[in-house]
């Protein structure tokens, strides 16, 4: 027969429990409504677990409103290329759940862009058709400076702001300038032949060259060109440069000595300044030509057969700007003929560039995978700018740190 083992509380225990409830009621009555309904206090980690550990109504509400009670601000990064751009931005914003950062494959961007507030284009072309689908979009950004892939007229028509991050402030310009020097030195010292010599256990060869005494033509004297000139000066070179317009009264083809201010900084880094009409003249005199131009309808293919033919035989050509500035057939022809002494490119005609392309068969060619501006310093800074802009859009404050171009 079953025998119960349940133990019932004594009368004194029941009375104590009853008195405890009465005490609790009295405490509640003496507590203000603000104290009674105040939310529990959590550490930041506990708060995160409390809000996001389980799905349901609370989770959906958080997804809908974010911490500030406003709709979540969504940031779209176009494509998986240049991964540090979105990875560093996510890291910077990790304590701000009101901002959501997504990386969308390039083919899916036209279908997804309507769900986002900010679009970071990177190297994608944002056509009028794609922009027309961006129903919520407030801002199109470049993780850097070049915006030639964005249809500005269409963005303006749809009330979407377009912005670039100034390269001078982020370290991007300085990074690109250093890459140009890296490629110059690699070609002058015959990087490919040095690697072959190491494999063949040869010493004392190849015989290389040096920057000292060279004449360098900087084509497109913007932020990158200026940083490049600053870094080239200590190598003992002469610098020619062209620019659409110069700030001083000395315009095209005016010679100027390099002068120094009292604190030792350069007042003028360029030995001879010119405009677009001087590019062939300067190319004839240069040992090294560096392309730093912005890409547009006027500059596309500017380094063509005529330009390269006008260069000194054996001169070097460096491009750290955009691949489309160089005419592919002209470059290939002059490499084959031996007229072009070397080619250094960080950007290509199509990206990623075909590793089996005929241009890469030449030992006097150095190619890098579009990493001139991809440094820890510049990418961390630009990620901060993108993150700050997203927070500014979320809170309705004016944009800072970017240059609006429309």
Same fold, 53-166+377-404 and 172-367: yes
Closest CA to 381 of 135, 167, 82, 116: 167
Residue 395, C-beta contacts closer than 8 angstroms, at least 6 positions apart: 68, 70
- At residue 51, the pLDDT reads 34
Q: What is the pLDDT along the chain (406 residues), one digit of tens a residue?
A: 434 444 445 545 544 544 454 444 444 344 443 333 333 343 434 433 333 333 333 333 344 444 445 689 999 999 999 999 999 999 999 999 999 999 999 999 999 999 999 999 998 899 999 999 999 999 999 887 778 889 999 999 999 999 988 877 788 899 999 999 999 999 999 999 999 999 999 999 999 999 999 999 999 999 999 999 999 999 999 999 999 888 765 444 444 444 434 333 345 899 999 999 999 999 999 999 999 999 888 999 999 999 999 999 999 999 999 999 999 999 999 999 999 999 999 999 999 999 999 999 999 999 999 999 999 999 999 999 999 999 999 999 999 999 999 9
CATH architecture of the domain formed by 172-367: 3-Layer(aba) Sandwich (3.40)
Domain layout of the chain by residue ranges: 53-166+377-404, 172-367
User: What pLDDT is stored for residue 247 in this prediction?
Assistant: 79
- Residue 268 has a pLDDT of 81
Please provide the size of the chain in residues. Answer: 406
Distance CA 153, CA 70 (A): 30
Dig out the tokens for 66 from the structure: 């974010």
What is the rounded CA–CA span in Å between residue 89 and residue 372?
Answer: 19
Superfamily of domain 53-166+377-404: NAD(P)-binding Rossmann-like Domain (3.40.50.720)
Provide the whole-model pTM. 0.75
Residue 70: the pLDDT is 64
Predicted pLDDT of residue 28: 38
């Amino acid at each position: 027969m079953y025998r119960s083992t349940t133990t019932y509380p004594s009368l004194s225990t029941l009375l104590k429990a009853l008195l405890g409830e009465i005490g609790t009621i009295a405490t509640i009555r003496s507590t203000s409504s603000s104290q009674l309904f105040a939310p529990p206090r959590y550490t930041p980690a506990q708060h995160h677990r409390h809000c996001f550990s389980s799905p349901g109504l609370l989770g959906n509400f958080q997804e809908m409103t974010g911490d500030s009670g406003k709709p979540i601000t969504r940031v779209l990064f176009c494509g998986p290329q240049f991964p540090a751009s979105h990875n560093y931005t996510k890291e910077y914003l990790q304590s701000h759940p009101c901002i959501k950062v997504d990386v969308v494959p390039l083919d899916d961007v036209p279908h997804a862009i309507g769900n986002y507030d900010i679009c970071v284009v990177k190297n994608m072309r944002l056509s009028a058709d794609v922009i027309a689908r961006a129903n919520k979009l407030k801002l199109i950004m470049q993780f850097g400076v070049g915006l030639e892939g964005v249809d500005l007229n269409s963005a303006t028509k749809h009330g979407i702001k377009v912005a670039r991050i100034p390269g001078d402030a982020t370290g991007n310009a300085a990074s690109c300038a250093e890459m140009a020097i890296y490629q110059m030195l690699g070609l002058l010292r015959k990087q490919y032949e040095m690697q072959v010599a190491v494999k063949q256990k040869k010493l004392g060869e190849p015989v290389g060259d040096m920057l000292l005494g060279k004449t360098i033509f900087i084509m497109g004297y913007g932020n990158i060109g200026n940083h490049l000139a600053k870094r080239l000066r200590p190598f003992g070179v002469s610098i020619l440069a062209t620019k659409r317009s110069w700030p001083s009264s000395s315009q095209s083809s005016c010679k100027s000595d390099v002068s120094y201010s009292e604190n030792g900084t350069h007042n003028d880094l360029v030995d001879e300044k010119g405009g677009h009409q001087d590019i062939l003249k300067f190319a004839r005199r240069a040992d090294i030509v560096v392309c730093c131009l912005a890409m547009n309808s006027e500059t596309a293919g500017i380094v063509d057969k005529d330009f390269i033919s006008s260069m000194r035989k054996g001169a070097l050509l460096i491009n750290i700007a955009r691949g489309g500035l160089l005419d592919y057939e002209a470059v290939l022809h002059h490499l084959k003929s031996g007229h072009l002494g070397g080619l250094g490119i960080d950007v290509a005609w199509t990206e990623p560039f075909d590793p089996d392309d005929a241009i890469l068969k030449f030992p006097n060619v150095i190619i890098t995978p579009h990493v001139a501006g991809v440094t820890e310093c510049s990418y961390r800074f630009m990620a901060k700018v993108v993150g700050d802009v997203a927070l500014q859009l979320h809170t309705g404050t004016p944009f800072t740190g970017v240059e609006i171009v429309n």
